[in-house]
C-alpha cells in the first residue's frame, strides 16, 4: 500500500470505537484513519487508552464500532510474551514472524529465511542469532521482537513503546528502521512518549481520557 497519485491510501480505519473495562470507558467514540507509507504516533498521558487503541488496531481487543484494516498486520508488544525459561534462540523468535506470513504448518522457504536474516541484520542482532532469547538485555529483546515484526512483512506494523528503556544508539536504530518501513509503503503505528519518536512522526493521534484530542 502506497500512494495513488497525490492521494494517500488508508491502511486502517476505526469508526465509533468504544471499549469498556468493568463498566469504565477506556475508549469513547474513536474515529481514526491510519495512512499508509507513514509513521503514526499515538501519544497521551498514562491511562489515556493508547495501548488499548493499538490492540483494537491489531484485532486483539474486543470493541464496539467498526474496524477496517487493509492487508496484513504485525503487532510488536512492549514486553515479550515469551516465558523467560523457554529455550528459544533469537533466530527462533524472529522466525515466528515468517511463520505468521507463511502459515504455521508450512516450511520456511528460501525467501522467508532470507527475510529473517535481513530483519536481524537491520536491527544489529545478527551476531546474536544463536543466543538464547532469555539471555539478552531488555534492549536486545526489544530489537528481537521488532525484527520478528519485520519478518512478518506486513502492511500495518504496530508497536507499543518501541524505544522505552533503550540506550540512545538502540533507540536511534529503531527509529531509523521505522522510517525505512514507512518509506517502502508500510503503515507504521507506535504508542510512544518519546519526544524523538513523536518528532519523527508524520501523523500524531493524541488521546486524553479515552478520546481523541489531536489527530493530524
Residue given cell 487503541 in the structure block: 53
Residue 51 confidence (pLDDT): 94
Average pLDDT for the chain: 89
Residue 4 confidence (pLDDT): 33
**What confidence tens digit (pLDDT) does each residue in 104-140 have?**
566 778 888 999 999 999 999 999 999 999 898 888 8
Instruction: Give the pLDDT band of residue 170 (cuts 50, 70, 90).
Output: confident
The mean per-residue pLDDT over the stretch 28-55 comes to 95
Instruction: Give the pLDDT band of residue 81 (cuts 50, 70, 90).
Output: low
Cβ neighbourhood burial of 63 (10 Å; 0-12, 13-18, 19+): buried
Residue 177 CA to residue 15 CA, distance in Å, equals: 29
pLDDT(73) > 70: yes
Phi and psi dihedrals of 87, rounded to 5? -80, 75
- Beta pairing partners, 193: none
Residue 103 confidence (pLDDT): 62
| pTM as predicted | 0.89
Residues 6+ apart with CB under 8 A from 85: 134
Residue 31 confidence (pLDDT): 96
Residue 71 confidence (pLDDT): 92
CA-wise closest residue to 201 among 191, 211, 209, 212: 191
Q: How far is CA 188 from CA 29, 47, 110, 135, 181, in A?
A: 23, 22, 26, 29, 7
Residue 5 confidence (pLDDT): 36
From the CB of residue 179, how many other CB atoms can be counted at a distance below 10 Å?
14
Residue 86 confidence (pLDDT): 76
Residue 102 confidence (pLDDT): 66
Domains of the chain: 1-71+187-216 (3.40.50.300)
Amino acid at each position: 500500500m502506497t500512494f495513488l497519485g497525490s492521494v494517500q491510501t488508508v491502511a486502517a480505519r476505526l469508526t465509533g470505537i468504544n471499549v469498556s473495562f468493568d463498566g469504565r470507558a477506556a475508549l469513547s467514540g474513536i474515529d481514526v484513519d491510519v495512512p499508509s507509507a507513514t509513521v503514526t504516533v499515538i501519544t497521551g498521558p498514562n491511562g489515556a487508552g493508547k495501548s488499548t487503541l493499538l490492540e483494537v488496531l491489531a484485532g486483539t481487543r474486543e470493541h464496539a464500532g467498526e474496524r477496517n484494516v487493509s492487508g496484513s498486520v504485525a503487532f510488536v508488544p512492549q514486553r515479550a510474551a515469551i516465558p523467560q525459561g523457554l529455550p528459544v534462540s533469537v533466530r527462533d523468535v524472529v522466525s515466528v514472524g515468517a511463520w505468521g506470513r507463511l502459515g504455521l504448518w508450512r516450511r520456511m522457504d528460501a525467501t522467508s529465511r532470507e527475510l529473517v536474516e535481513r530483519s536481524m541484520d537491520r536491527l544489529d542482532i545478527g551476531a546474536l542469532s544463536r543466543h538464547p532469547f532469555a539471555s539478552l538485555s531488555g534492549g536486545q529483546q526489544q530489537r528481537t521482537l521488532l525484527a520478528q515484526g519485520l519478518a512478518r512483512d506486513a502492511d500495518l506494523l504496530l508497536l507499543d513503546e518501541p524505544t522505552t528503556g533503550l540506550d540512545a544508539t538502540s533507540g536511534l536504530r529503531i527509529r531509523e528502521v521505522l522510517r525505512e518501513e514507512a518509506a517502502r509503503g508500510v503503515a507504521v503505528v507506535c504508542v510512544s512518549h518519546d519526544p524523538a519518536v513523536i518528532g519523527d512522526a508524520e501523523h500524531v493521534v493524541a488521546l486524553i481520557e479515552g478520546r481523541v484530542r489531536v489527530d493530524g
